[in-house]
Structure formats: structure tokens, C-alpha cells
Amino acid sequence: MKSFFKTYWTYFVSFIIPLVIMTGVYLTQGIYWNSDASPLLGDGFHQYVIFDVALRNILHGNGSLFYTFTSGLGLNFYALSSYYLGSFLSPIVYFFNLSNMPDAVYLTTLLKFGLIGLSTFFSLTRLFKDIPKFLKLALSTSYALMSFTVSQLEIKTWLDVFILIPLIITGLHLLITQKKRLLYFTSLSILFIQNYYFGYMTALFLIFWYLCQISWDFKTRKSSFLDFVVTSFLAGMASLIMTLPTLFDLQTHGEKLTAITKLKTDSSWYLDIFAKQFIGSFDTTKYGSIPMIFVGLLPFILTILFFTIKSIRFHVKLTYAIFFTFLIISFYIEALDLFWQGMHTPNMFLHRYAWIFSTLLIYTAAEVLNRLKELKLWNLFVSLFLVLTGFLATVYFKSHYSFLTDLNILLTLEFLLVYALLLLAVIRKFISVNLFAILLSLFITAEISLNASSQMEGIAKEWAFASRSAYNRDITAMESILNQIDNPFTRTEKLQIQTGNDSMKFNYNGISQFSSVRNRSASTSLDKLGFKSSGTNLNLRYANNSLLADSLFGIQYNISETSLDKYGFQEIYQKDHLTLYKNQLSLPIAFATQSIYTDVNFNNHTLDNQALFINQLANLNLDYFSQIAYDKTDNSEGLTSITGSANEDAKIDYQIEVPQNSQVYLSFSNLHFTNDKQKKVDIIVNGEKKTFTTDNAFNFFNLGYTEEQKTFNISVSFPGNSQVSFESPTFYRLDTQALTEAIQKIKEQPVEVSTSKNKVFATYEVKQDTSIFFTIPYDKGWSAYQDGKKLEIKQAQTGFMKVDVPEGKGTITLSFIPNGFVIGAVCSVTALLLFGIYNHRRNLSKTEKD
């Protein structure tokens, strides 16, 4: 054991150093194990930790890895996992629960930083024999804590990429120099499986990197071309079990390629490369950022030195220079910037390929340190002159980089001086190489720690780390409330949500969703029916829709902090400040239509679409919605602008006469707030206050139900806004008797629905040829069977599904296997076999030649 530790202690240290530094950096924000400040911010709070919870539930037997009904009516969870859950460490969530899942995020994040340091140290050790161990530790720590990883740690699956990149680089080196292909094949396959997005960037990077590597000895290394092409291809093929279903999902539901509309990227200027080399420089992770490329001052200095070393041949320098130049130009040219990112404009976190620049700096610097004894004073002076000139020019034009502070500049110049003196001392042999390595590693560790702390401070100010109490809000009450739901395969919605993924967080079947992986066809159809999902459908919300929509889409339960006041919803349970209401009019998730269903044409009027839809399902011709006249107190037509008096919110009053059996709604068109951070609406109806959000929701507000004819006195205020504007509002009534008649008509032909994992069972009894309509998003991964016979699933209203059945009774079984999964699995197994055969034969060929 002692001999083992003596041999491999540096590997242990390479893991520990980044982990310990990041533990300290987290501490600066008050974050530690079970701390009140959680490690969740931005998407980490709204998406990643929630998807971790969903995976944890699945691993405990509650759900399927292929499909979930806890988001967007239903969602391809396999495709979602490929984007949000691709990590070695994801299975760790099994040992956590909803309440302590932030600790799982904290633990896995720290472990990932440590593993990046370990894999980088392993890579540097295998590739560069002459670099002192302390310098390898310093470089590996620098890579683990580069600005890119720390500033974007909320997207925690990206960190796994940088555990694998050093292994892939090492594997490629072994393939080129020793004809060993296993490490390259394995690590590249895993990367493609874990993160197809960064896998694409890595594939591009490897083409350039391969050219750089063979340039060192083209005559000998060119023979590796076949191995490089075949092994890379088979690695891609081996990943198809994950990437092919994901590709098919993206083709169906992904966004269109971004059109190139300008030459230059936003916010870029001439000295960006130098501006982001200042220690602690942080601009933003939102829009308008320049690339996060900092990986330490020393690698930057040494990279310039690389091009002055005589023993490195000109064509090698030229190849590296071309790669660096292409990357730098890509930061400035819109078309190239998009090219690296799959021709899709990122939703914030721009220049997502900037890590390639940092990777190049580390490995180019290592080439210089491997030739430390060759360095001359003139090499150092040329490098320092160029670096210092760039820094001074950036300081001079500091107006273009408002994020640079005096502290950034002072720290950078101080460390630059230290590194210059140490390099001068070792070149002139004033100090030994070992002492140089120890001193340099200490300063590099201090520098990268300061930079990491600055990046953490930047994202904390920009996104704010959520408190543990905020994350845990409602958990106890929700667990108690959800235990009261007797039918697990029904839909529930919480009215006052914390995130767009609350249904997945608390593990109930719902509509709301916030995800880059989504069923756009269903979301678009739902948007036409009042569940807002505009633009690229990243968001889908249940809020601010009608009772009719509740019934159609099987919303059997509502959970609310305030009195619900919705026809047909009865209070059945209360826990703390939350109350559970049950909808007596909800349809099951699958139901029978009155005849073979044919689509109706939706327009841009939500309530018209709802009426057309339910009448088509029920084979009726009823009127459901009608306008309610009112006295216009604003005495204006068209656009209305209201202004509150001094220090008061904008407010307006209305009075309407409501007929009997009415669910009443208020609709605002073109509602504009002067305060974009406050977009809530308070409405008092006959003395009872209701609060509504307009965030990712339509401006359509439920005012309550009345069985008798009644006067509604309404006061509308806009908290935090002294002025708002809108078009003259419209008041609607939903005829609850007409709705009841339609729902009862549909229920005359009973359909019982249940589910198990990735299967749905619909048992029906119908009186004529008809359609079983599933309010489940249409996806090619679904297949339908009855008595062993495959049935045709057809799209209904674009986003949903139907199965046509004859008169009689039966049970339809729907089964979901991601489209492309079977073919992908066959391809992956085939690729493994082919690689085994290819590798064996190439090894035999090598042995025979030897």
C-alpha cells in the first residue's frame, strides 16, 4: 500500500487540489454540505436538480427511463436525459431524495472538478515525460478551474466533457504514436453518448488536433490516418444507442438552424483575447459576453513562447498557428461562431466552444515546459513583450471592457512579474528546475484560485444562488397532498409554481414544462388552446386558462394557496397553506369520440379553438363562451394607459353583471408593464383577492364562478408598476351547463386508462366506430397493440394521438420505445464488434511487421 501511494500520490493530489479549491470557493458564497445557501442557480435550480430528482424516482422504480408523464402532458425522457443527465455520476442521485438533492449537486460538482484535474494530470504524465510533477499538477489544476468550467458550472453536465477531453487527447496520441486504439475509442464513445452537443464540437476539434499532432512527424505519423478515421467513425457508431434517438427527436422537435444575418459577433472588439486573460475578468454569462478562455497567465505566456522555440519546426508552428487563428477568427465572425455550435444560436452562455482555446493553451504550454532547458532569454523577452503590449493596450482601451477592474489589472501585472522573474531565474540557472517547479506551481494554484473565486462571485451576482429554504418550500405539504390522489394516472397542476418544472420536481403528471428537449408539435397545439408556449416552445405553462381546457386535458386536481373558485372543483384536503381540489368534470387521459375523429382548423383565438375542439369531440354544436358587457370607466377606446398616484400602483376598477351558471374571465390584450421585473396582477372581486402571474402565461384571468345572476365589482392593480397600458379588456363567461353537457356526452362511452412504466392501457366500450383520443403528445416512438395485433396511431390536431376502433369493447396497449433506439442499439453493438475485430487485426498486422 505504501509503495502504491508512493508511486501514485501525485494522481491523488491532482484530484484533491481542484476539489479543495472549489470547496473553498463555494464557502465564499456560504455554500457547504447541507448549508442554507444551496449550490443551485439559474438553470441549475429550474432544470438540472429537478431532472436529477426525476432520474432518482425512476431509479427507485417510479417511472421509465424512456418516457415520463410528469412534464408537458408527456415527454421523451430518454432524449431529455441525453442533454441534461449525461454524466458518470448521475446514478449517485439514487442515494438522495427530493429534500437533499442540492447536496447531490454539490457533491457531484466537486467530484467532477477533482476528476478533471485527475484526468488532465494523467494525460500530461503520459504525453510529457520531462515536465516536473509539480508543474503537471499546476497545469492540471489550471485546466480543471479554467474560467469556462467555473463560470458555467450551473450546467453541470458540461463538466463531464472536460473529464473526457484529456483522455481523448491521450488516446489519440497513443493511436498516432503507438497504434493503440482502445483508450481513444472508449473515451470518445463515452463522450458522444454523454453529450452529443459537445460531442459535435469535439469532433471538429479532433480534426484540427489530429493535423497538429501528425505535423510533428508527418512522414511517420501519416500512417495513422486509417486508424484515426476508422476508430473515430466506430466511436460515433458505438454511441448511436443514445445519439440516434436524440437526433430523431431533434429533427422532429428541435429548432431551425439559425440564419446568418450579420458578419460580426455581438460585443466583440479587437483586444478580447487579452481582456479575458486578466485574472478574475468576468463580463457575463448572458447575452453580450466575450469568450471565457482564461486558463492561467502562464499557459498564455508559454503559448507565445512556443512559436519562438527553434527546435520546433516551422511547419509545426504553422499548423498550430492556423488552428489558433481559426479559433480566434471564429470568436469574431458570426458564421464561424455558429458553425462551432451546430448552427444554433445559444440561449445565453455564448461561445460554447471557447474551452477549445483553453485546451490548446494548456497542451501548447506543456510542449514548452517539456523543452524548458531549451529556453533562451530572447524567447522569454519576445513573449513577455507581446503579452505586456497586449495587456497595456487593453488597459488603454479599457472603455471597451467595462468589466475590468483595477484589481483585475493589478493582480495580472503582479503575477505577470512573478512568472517573468521565475522564468528568468530558471533560464539563467539562478534556481534549480525543481525549485522553479515548486514555486511556480504554488503561484499558479493561488492565481487560479483567485480567478475561480472571481468567476463564482460573478455568476452569484448574475444568477443568485437559491437558498435551501426556497428550494424546500412546499415539499412537506406537497408530499402529504399528493398522497391523497387516489388515481396515480391522472393530471394535477399547482397554481402558484416556483419553476416551470414543478410537476417533475414533485412527481405528479402535469402540463407545465421548461426544457430545451420538448415536444414542439404538442406545445404548439396547446398554445392554440390556451396553454402558452410561444416562440421555440422552451416554455409551456398551465396558468391562466379556462375550465374547459382543464376538463379536456384531464386536469383532475388543482393545488392552490388561495381559494380556487372554479366550477366543479371541490376541496378535498388541506395541508399547511396548500389546498387540494378535485375536478368533477375532468376527462380521462384517453377518451372515446362520437365518431371517427377528424381535425378542426384552429385559428389565433384561443376560446374559439376550445369550443371547436370540444364540439368536435362530443359531436355537439353548443356555445360555451360569450362576452359580458361592462361600463368603461376609462372612457377610452383602443389602447388604455393607467397611472397610479404618488407611490401607488396603477389600478383600475370595473363592474359587470354576470348571468347565472357562469365561470367568469378577464382578458387583457397587449398588456405592457413599466417594470419588467414585476409582472403580477392583483384582482379583487367582491372583496376577495386573487393574484395572477403573466410570466410565460396568457393575460386571461379567472374571476370566479357564480350559480346565480350576480354583480361583480372588480378592482385590478399591478404591483410594482406605477404605469401600465393595455387594450380595452374583455370579460367572458363560460356557460358551465353547456360544458357539463359536453363532458357528460363524451363520458357516455367509458374509457379506463392506466399505465405501467412506458406503457399505457386504455380499456374502452363504444357504441359505434369511433376514435380513442389520447391527450398525450404524438411521437413516432409510440406503438399501439390490441390482442397482439399492431394498430395504427394517427396524429390528431397535430400534437396529439388517436387510434380508430370499431364498435365494441377492447383494450389498447400503447408502448413507447424512443424512435431510433432499436436501430441505434443494433448499431452500437455492431460497432463494438467491428472495433474488436479491427483492433485485433491491426494488432496482428503490427506484430507481423515487428
What are the pLDDT digits (tens) for 355-409? 999 999 999 999 999 999 999 999 999 999 999 999 999 999 999 999 999 999 9
Question: Rounded to an integer, what distance in angstroms lies between the CA atom of residue 261 and that of residue 258?
Answer: 9
Q: Which three cell numbers stand for residue 468?
A: 435551501
The full set of domain ranges for the chain reads: 2-30+86-463, 474-615, 625-736, 743-821
Give the dihedral of Cα atoms 810, 813, 819, 821; nearest 10 deg: -140
| pLDDT-derived band at 845, boundaries 50, 70, 90 | confident
Angle at 683 between CA 677 and CA 684, to 5 degrees: 145
Look up cell 375542439; give the residue: 613
Residues 6+ apart with CB under 8 A from 65: 58, 77, 78, 81
Contact 105, 156 (CB under 8 A): yes
Contact status, residue 559 vs residue 508, Cβ threshold 8 Å: no
Residue 10 C-alpha from the chain's centroid = 35
pLDDT tens-digit profile of 456-501? 999 999 999 999 999 999 999 999 999 999 877 899 999 999 999 9
Among 497, 741, 501, CA closest to 621 = 741
DSSP 8-class letter at 595: S
Measured CA distances, 664 to 177, 492, 615, 622, 719 (Å): 76, 22, 20, 18, 22
| CA–CA dist 272, 292 (Å, integer) | 10
Q: 682 has which bridge partners?
A: 691, 717
Place of cell 442540492: 102
Average pLDDT over residues 734-740: 97
Residue range 38-61: mean pLDDT, rounded = 96
Residue 95 has what DSSP assignment?
A: G
C-alpha cell at 70: 410528469
H helix count then E strand count, the chain: 29, 26
Say how far apart CA 132 and CA 113 lie, in whole Å.
22
Give the model confidence (pLDDT) of 773-792 as tens digits.
Answer: 999 999 999 999 999 899 99
Give the pLDDT of residue 638: 66
* Count of residues making up the chain: 850
**At 48, is the secondary structure helix, strand, or coil?**
helix
Answer for the pair 278, 412: CB distance below 8 angstroms, yes or no: yes
> Using the 8-state DSSP alphabet, how is residue 767 labeled?
S
Report the candidate in 118, 116, 96 with the shortest Cα–Cα distance to residue 107: 96
* pLDDT surpasses 60 at 181: yes
DSSP strand pairing (808-816 vs 759-766): antiparallel
pLDDT per residue as tens digits for the range 496-518: 999 999 999 999 999 999 999 99
The pLDDT of residue 632 is 66
> Cell for 604?
389565433
Which set of grid coordinates corresponds to residue 177? 504514436
Q: Is 635 left (phi over 0), alpha (psi -120 to 50) or beta?
A: left
- pLDDT value, residue 634: 52
Only one residue has cell 530572447, namely: 378
Cβ–Cβ < 8 Å for 297, 280: no
Question: How are beta strands 555-560 and 491-494 bridged, if at all?
Answer: parallel
Total Cβ atoms within 10 A of residue 8: 11
Q: Which of 419, 420, 294, 308 is nearest to 371 (CA)?
A: 308
**Tens digits of per-residue pLDDT, 413-467?**
999 999 999 999 999 999 999 999 999 999 999 999 999 999 999 999 999 999 9
Give me the phi and psi of 701, to 5 degrees please: -115, 135
Give me the residue label for grid cell 394521438. Answer: 801
Alpha-helical regions (H) of 370-432: 377-396, 406-427
**CB contact set of 638 (below 8 Å; sequence gap of 6+):** 727, 728
Digit-coded pLDDT (tens) for 534-576: 988 999 999 999 999 999 999 999 999 999 999 999 999 999 9
Q: What separation in angstroms does the CA of 59 have from each of 94, 155, 239, 330, 503?
A: 6, 22, 22, 42, 18
**Hey, what's the cell of 194?**
454523454
Question: What is the rounded average pLDDT for all residues in the chain?
Answer: 95
- Looking from the CA of 830 toward its CB, the CA atoms found within 13 Å total 11
pLDDT higher than 90, residue 251 = no
CB neighbourhood size of 513 (10 A): 28
CATH numeric code, 743-821? 2.60.40.1180
CA distance 518 to 758: 17
Band of pLDDT at residue 850, cut at 50, 70 and 90: low
Tell me the three cell numbers of residue 722: 406605477
Distance CA 293, CA 345 (A): 19
Per-residue confidence band for 254, with pLDDT thresholds at 50, 70 and 90: confident
In 3-state terms, what secondary structure has residue 13?
helix
Top-level CATH class of 625-736? Answer: mainly beta
pLDDT band, very low/low/confident/very high, at 1 (cuts 50, 70, 90): low
Distance from C-alpha of 306 to C-alpha of 465, rounded to nearest angstrom: 41
**653 DSSP β-pair partners:** 715
> DSSP assignment of 354-369, as one string?
HHHHHHHHHHHHHHHH
Q: Which residue has the cell 387510434?
A: 803
Alpha-carbon distance 30 to 486, whole Å? Answer: 42
Q: Which residues neighbour 51 within 8 Å (Cβ) at sequence distance 6 or greater?
A: 80, 81, 84, 85, 501, 504
Cα Rg of the chain (Å, integer):
31
655 three-state secondary structure = strand
In angstroms, how far is the first alpha carbon of the chain from the final one?
37
Asked if residue 635 has pLDDT above 90, the reply is: no
